[in-house]
Each structure stands twice: as C-alpha cells, then as structure tokens.
Homo-oligomer: A and B are copies of this chain.
C-alpha cells in the first residue's frame, strides 16, 4: 500500500482479497503497510483489485517465501532465549555440547565445563536421526531429562532436536530451543507443528537444500505464527570427500540480504574433523554469523556418535579464547 494509504483503504483491500477466497495478512512496517496474500493455488489474476485506491504495487511472488524475507520485514529478527538476545547487531552466541546425551555424568560434566569456559547455550541430542536403524538412536525422553537437569544446574538454556510432529510438545516441555535436523528440513508436518509453539526453533539447512528452499522451510514455521526462528548452515553435500560436507559460508551474507532471520553456523557437522573447527568458527563469525554451534565431549574418542569432529574440553577452552578476542575485535 502507499505510505499514505489509510486504515479504510487497507480494510477495503483486505475484504476484496478475502472475497477472492484468499487470506490477506496485513504486515505493518514503519513507513507503509504491506498486505501478504496467502492461500492461492498457483497464479492469481489480480484484475479485481489492481486499481483499488491506496495500492502502490502488486508483486506476484514467485519465490516460495515472503514473510521471512527482508522485503516484508526489513529489520532483523531478534530471537530471545532466557534473557539472551540473538541476531543482528548482537554479540554472536556460542552453543556447545555433545552430539548426543549419553549419560547423566557425561552431559553434566560437559555442561559444567562449557559453562565455565563461556558457552551461552548447551546442546545435546536425545532423539538422534541415524542413517541406519542398527546404531544408537539416542536416549529419548531419558536424555531430555538429563539435558534439562544439566541446563538447570548450570543455568544454560538448552537446544535439542525434535524429529517428529507428535514429539514437539514433549520436547518443548524440556527444551529452550527446538532444533530441526538437516534430514527433516522439508518435513513439512513437523515444521507446521513447530509453528504452533512459542519457543525458538533452530532450523538446519538440508544437505542439498538451496537457500530458497531453506527460507521456504522457515516460512512454514513463520506462517503458523512462530517468528522466533534461527537458520543454521551445517555444510552442503558436494563431490569433495576431504570434508564430511562443504561448509557454505557465503550463505551468511546471502541470507542477511534476503531474510531478517539470524544465521548460526555449525562447523562441526560441516567439516567432520576436529582440527578444522577453530578456523571455520572464526571464519563464520567474521563473515557475520549470529552464532556458532560446536560439538564438545569430555572424551570424544569414546563418543557414541560424531567423535572425530568433536572438540575436547581443553580444545573448546582454547577456541573460546580466540572467540573472545575476535568478538572484541568486531566491537562486541
């Protein structure tokens, strides 16, 4: 709508869109109000509305997302997790913890160490998506309890994965941030269910998802009403065997141009190799990531999953020193 379109003109357009059998969602900005038109099956003829007073421009959206785009919401979304603010202009956060919760002792020891060394959030998997059915699949609800207890004792908010729509409420009862894994980025029923809760979601990029598909997946959550979404780059699948995946750091500035959602980088899954985590962490931060997520384990070589890419506690301590110096260089 024009910047000087009034309430009445907006209402007339909203009503006209409804009459076309579509949903009209007003998106008020600082200067002007945009109206998102949703629910169309394919292309919609705009003949009924195109000459209405107050309309500045009708953009036929060909991209599969709009609410998560900068066009509709120029200001960066800030995600709030128990007093921590994540996003544009904020000190980039550090999420640390083991790939999987394996035992009370393991997760508590890790939690206390990463808290002491300066992590902002604690991660740990209770439901583990694994390539084959014959390997460790996570401690499930027991794991959630251990993780939550470690969070309570250390004061660290916790991040953990949810794999299935029917477990969203269960996981949300324990977790401060719910993670969607790469394999589930296009599990649309799961995304819709996460749109209905009021806890932040960390959405990982699918292993061969384009940035457009990544943002469209976030749109599923956003469209249901949950706007607290963080996007997580974790490497894409390419022909290169030297790293587990190919970390695509260009994603950070590209998404910053296209979307208002914060970007977190996971250099552990991306590289698959401990020694590559520190340089890629620093690269992610200076390229503008709003946070990083790294795997830490007291004894990586005994970890039930992802050992080779997991930092030791002293290794994480050393990395935190580098992160602190870099944050300060960047003015945080």
Contact A135 B239 (CB under 8 A): no
Q: Is A174 an interface residue (CB 8 A)?
A: no
Q: Which residues of B contact A38 (CB under 8 A)?
A: 133-134
Contact across chains for A132 and B219 when beta carbons are under 8 A apart: yes
Residue A243 lies at the interface, judged by CB distance under 8 Å to chain B: yes
Knowing A249-B283, A283-B249, the reply to whether A239 touches B210 (Cβ < 8 A) is yes
Whether a CB of chain B sits under 8 angstroms from the CB of A166 is yes
Task: Find chain B residues with CB under 8 A from A275 CB.
Answer: 253, 257
Find residues 224-279 in chain A having any chain B CB closer than 8 Å to their own CB. Answer: 236-243, 246-254, 257, 270-271, 275-276, 279
Identify A250's interface contact among B66, B220, B270, CB under 8 A. Answer: B270
CA distance A167 to B326 in the complex (A): 46
Question: Using a Cβ–Cβ cut-off of 8 Å, how many residues does chain A contribute to the interface with B?
Answer: 75
Chain B min CB distance to A242 (Å): 5
Instruction: Check if A287 is an interface residue, CB within 8 A of chain B.
Output: yes
- Closest-by-CB residue of B relative to A221 is B133
> Which of chain A's residues 100-141 have a Cβ closer than 8 Å to chain B?
129-136
Q: Mark A177-194, 1 if CB is under 8 A from B, else 0.
A: 000000110111110100
A41-B304, A133-B219 known; A210 and B240 CB under 8 Å? yes
A79 to chain B, nearest CB (A): 20
Copies of the chain in the assembly: 4
Given contacts A243-B250, A246-B238, A249-B247, contact A135 B208 (CB under 8 A): no
Contacts A238-B236, A242-B254 given; does A189 touch B164 at CB 8 Å: yes
Quick check: A189 and B210 within 8 Å, CB to CB?
no
Residues of chain B with a CB closer than 8 A to A131's CB: 64, 186, 212-213, 216
Known: A134-B223, A216-B132, A283-B287. A242 touches B189 (CB 8 A): no
Given A134-B223, A249-B283, A326-B329, 13 new contacts (CB under 8 A): A41-B135, A131-B213, A133-B223, A166-B166, A183-B186, A183-B187, A210-B240, A210-B241, A212-B242, A236-B246, A238-B246, A243-B250, A279-B287
Q: Could you tell me if A134 and B39 are in contact, using CB atoms closer than 8 angstroms?
A: yes
> For residue A236, which residues in chain B have a CB less than 8 angstroms away from its CB?
238-240, 246
Chain B residues in 8 Å Cβ range of A239: 208, 210, 236-239
